[in-house]
């Protein structure tokens, strides 16, 4: 068992709340997560990119704690849940700005479609490799964390979801 993966040992070894997002089931798994994280990072406005890093650092242990009860005897490794945090956070931030609202809707719509399909089929959309399984609950909780962490930022910055006039 990977000493950095999220298991119930995280209650005694709290570093696992962060390191589980760095541990992967192989290079293919790591590459898939890197691409999923790169999309919103590249689409985020320059002034939001630093904030996104902080959001991901703060969301990592919260996401781990939300995922932990559903693991049973299994373990969680990977950054797909954090990728969903980023898609939701960046999507909502882009949606709040008129000039990038379409891109924000695209990110949020793609994420919503992914979550709906995973809920309908009861499994992740990505075909996993040997020993690698997706955890749709991490995607759901990640998206929820991304949305909830974006709202206070938008209210504080004076941004609002664009309204039709």
Q: Residue-wise pLDDT tens for the chain (165 aa)?
A: 677 889 888 989 999 999 999 988 888 889 999 999 999 999 999 989 999 999 999 999 999 999 999 888 888 999 999 999 999 999 999 998 888 889 999 999 999 999 999 988 877 766 666 666 778 899 999 999 999 999 886 766 555 544 444
Non-local CB neighbours of 107 within 8 Å, separated by 6+ positions: 39, 40, 43, 87, 88, 90, 91, 94
Asked if residue 134 is part of any domain, the answer here is yes
User: Domain count of the chain?
Assistant: 1
For residue 130, the enclosing domain spans 28-70+79-157
Asked if residue 3 is part of any domain, the answer here is no
Asked if residue 17 is part of any domain, the answer here is no
Mean pLDDT, the chain, integer: 87
Cβ count within 10 A of residue 129? 13
Asked if residue 104 is part of any domain, the answer here is yes
Rg (CA), the chain: 16
**Is 72 within 8 Å of 22 (Cβ atoms)?**
no
Asked if residue 126 is part of any domain, the answer here is yes
Model pLDDT, residue 111: 97
**Is 6 within 8 Å of 71 (Cβ atoms)?**
yes
Asked if residue 101 is part of any domain, the answer here is yes
Asked if residue 18 is part of any domain, the answer here is no
**Is 20 within 8 Å of 5 (Cβ atoms)?**
yes
Rounded Cα distance between 110 and 42, Å, is 16
Asked if residue 163 is part of any domain, the answer here is no
What pLDDT digit, counting tens, does each position of 82-108 carry?
999 999 999 999 998 888 889 999 999
Please tell me the pTM assigned to this model.
Answer: 0.87
Residue 136, classed as helix, strand or coil, is: helix
């Amino acid at each position: 068992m990977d000493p950095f993966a999220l298991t119930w040992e995280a209650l005694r070894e709290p570093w696992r709340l962060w390191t589980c997002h760095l541990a992967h089931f192989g290079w293919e798994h790591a590459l898939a997560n890197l691409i999923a994280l790169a999309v919103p990072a590249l689409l985020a406005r320059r002034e939001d990119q630093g904030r996104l890093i902080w959001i991901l650092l703060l969301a990592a242990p919260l996401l781990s704690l939300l995922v932990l009860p559903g693991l049973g005897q299994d373990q969680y490794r990977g950054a797909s849940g954090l990728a969903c945090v980023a898609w939701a956070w960046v999507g909502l931030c882009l949606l709040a700005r008129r000039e990038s609202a379409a891109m924000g809707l695209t990110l949020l719509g793609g994420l919503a479609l992914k979550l709906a399909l995973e809920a309908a089929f009861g499994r992740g959309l990505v075909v996993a490799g040997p020993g690698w399984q997706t955890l749709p609950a991490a995607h759901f909780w990640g998206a929820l964390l991304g949305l909830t962490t974006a709202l206070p930022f938008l209210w504080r910055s004076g941004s609002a979801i664009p309204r039709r006039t």
